[in-house]
């Protein structure tokens, strides 16, 4: 055989190149086989995990006597926050059991650290309750629906996000007036949608899976047609929820023709000049965390004012600023500069035996975690440091809109559950191999039933925790400010 003939034969059998760091090894049996050389496939590896952690084991909720009581947990989570604002946080958490869950990610992490885990790691939201999904604007003016809060994001067990989502759906369903069976169905449907979506992603080419679950396909994929009207109404409001609209309501003209924020206490308040200057100066470091192609956009805006603004439920008491920028036409762009505290999950991950990498900057952790989980992220997402504290920076009112799951019609809660379960699966699949998780979850509903049972039990526990907090507020043990 000639040299040319030999080369052609070698090429026909597939060229074997040396391993390349950062890439998958050559599978040995050609594309799609992954097992011809005797290695276990990710799907088989996932199935094997069931022997050590049966899917039925995820129904377990074993709360031991060392668990901190709810009131102490809230008090501990208030450490390091601005003392004058913590009564607002307590008041918001005391409103309903669902609101309590929203503000108690750390307490639930304590409980989850004592539940069965497969030890499969993913970039997790850390606070994937049902109200942390919503709409926001992409770079081309369209709307995207996805997870949208990442204060607690960390590398951890995928089950924690799924269980938090399921438990939150039960609480939201109860508040919405759904029956107990309807609430259980919502929890099971979220898990089932997560499981089916992960299986779908495992079957797709990697690039297709990476960008999967386009908005126009999401409702059909999850059979959430009853939500169409609600999503359309939320989308219409989101399109109007812009920096310009916020500035129109929250600013006034100055003598030189500029704009400045108008106080709306206690949510929006002015700050001393020195503090405002420090926040504004920190934007220079923030600009260095952005992709260079974003810098001309910022350079065409000037900083006009800075104010302090209270945000969220779990975030109340952290330092959060809004920065008003104007372009050459006087059109506003508002940035939020929000303090990034260490993830509330971190100590509980260590208890569960999950070693986590050192965090060099908490704002960077939040931003990178968000980018790892979302299909599309805010183009102005970055981080900085103000007065020695880490902050994340993002657009404020970037056409954001959200569905309040507790305000849905009772028969819509399970539709919403399926949609959020699918979104969570897609978010996890960016960092964890969907073949591995799908292999574990399987085709039947065993995992759905188990986590559905867990969710019902955890919702009961949360209602008891909420009742303890309300009693402490009434007794004067904890200060609370309601209606803010």
pLDDT in tens, 13-61: 567 788 899 888 766 544 444 555 568 899 999 999 999 999 999 999 9
The per-residue pLDDT for range 451-464, each reduced to its tens digit, is: 999 999 999 999 99
Cα 477 to Cα 70, 107, 188: the distances in Å are 13, 19, 38
Phi, psi of 128 (to 5 degrees): -85, 50
Measured at the CA of 386, the angle between CA 153 and CA 319, to 5 degrees, comes to 60
> How does pLDDT run across 257-305, given as a tens digit for each residue?
889 999 999 999 999 999 999 999 999 999 999 999 999 999 999 999 9
Number of Cβ within a 10 Å radius of residue 44: 14
**pLDDT exceeds cutoff 60 at 158:** yes
H or E element at residue 146: strand 143-147
Dist CA 419 CA 189 (whole Å): 9
Measured CA to CA, the distance from residue 96 to residue 463 in angstroms comes to 8
Q: Is the pTM of this model over 0.75?
A: yes
CA distance 123 to 335: 26
pLDDT in tens, 103-139: 999 999 999 999 999 999 999 999 999 999 999 988 8
Q: In what order do the strands lie in the sheet with 143-147?
A: 143-147, 133-137, 401-402
Peptide linkage before 266 cis (omega within 30 of 0): yes
């Amino acid at each position: 055989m000639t040299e040319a003939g030999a080369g052609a034969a070698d090429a026909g059998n597939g060229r074997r190149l040396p391993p390349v760091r950062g890439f998958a090894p050559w599978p040995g049996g050609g594309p799609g086989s992954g097992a011809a050389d005797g290695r276990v496939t990710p799907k088989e590896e996932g199935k094997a995990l069931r022997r050590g952690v049966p899917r039925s084991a995820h129904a377990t909720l074993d709360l031991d006597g060392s668990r901190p009581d709810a009131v102490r947990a809230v008090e501990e989570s208030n450490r390091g926050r601005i003392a004058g604002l913590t009564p607002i946080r307590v008041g918001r958490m005391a409103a309903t059991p669902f609101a309590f869950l929203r503000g108690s990610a750390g307490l639930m992490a304590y409980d989850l650290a004592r539940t069965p885990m497969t030890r499969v790691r993913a970039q997790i939201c850390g606070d994937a309750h049902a109200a942390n999904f919503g709409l926001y604007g992409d770079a081309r003016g369209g709307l995207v629906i996805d997870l949208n809060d990442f204060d607690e994001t960390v590398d951890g067990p995928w089950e924690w996000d799924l269980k938090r989502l399921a438990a939150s759906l039960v609480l939201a369903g109860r508040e919405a007036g759904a029956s107990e069976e309807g609430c259980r169905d919502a929890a099971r449907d979220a898990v089932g949608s997560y499981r089916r979506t992960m299986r779908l992603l495992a079957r797709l080419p990697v690039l297709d899976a990476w960008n999967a679950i386009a908005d126009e396909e999401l409702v059909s994929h999850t059979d959430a047609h009853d939500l169409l009207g609600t999503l359309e109404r939320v989308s219409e409001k989101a399109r109007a929820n812009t920096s310009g609209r916020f500035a129109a309501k929250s600013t006034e003209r100055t003598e030189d023709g500029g704009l400045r924020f108008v106080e709306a206490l206690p949510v929006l308040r002015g700050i001393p000049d020195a503090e405002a200057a420090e926040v504004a100066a920190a934007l220079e470091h923030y600009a260095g965390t952005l992709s260079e192609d974003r810098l001309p956009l910022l350079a065409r805006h000037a900083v006009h004012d800075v104010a302090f603004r209270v945000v969220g439920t779990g975030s109340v008491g952290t330092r959060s600023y809004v920065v008003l920028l104007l372009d050459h036409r006087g059109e506003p762009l508002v940035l939020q500069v929000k303090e990034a505290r260490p993830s509330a999950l971190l100590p509980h991950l260590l208890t569960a035996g999950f070693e986590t990498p050192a965090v060099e900057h908490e704002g960077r952790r939040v931003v990178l975690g968000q980018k790892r989980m979302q299909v599309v992220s805010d183009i102005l997402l970055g981080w900085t440091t103000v007065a020695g504290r880490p902050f994340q920076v993002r657009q404020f009112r970037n056409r954001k809109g959200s569905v309040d799951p507790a305000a849905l019609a009772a028969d819509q809660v399970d539709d919403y559950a399926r949609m959020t379960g699918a979104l969570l699966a897609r978010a996890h699949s960016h960092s964890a191999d969907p073949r591995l998780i799908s292999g574990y979850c399987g085709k039947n509903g065993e995992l759905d039933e188990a986590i559905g049972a867990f969710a019902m039990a955890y919702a009961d526990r949360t209602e008891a925790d909420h009742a303890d907090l309300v009693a402490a507020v009434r007794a004067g043990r904890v200060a609370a400010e309601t209606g803010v």
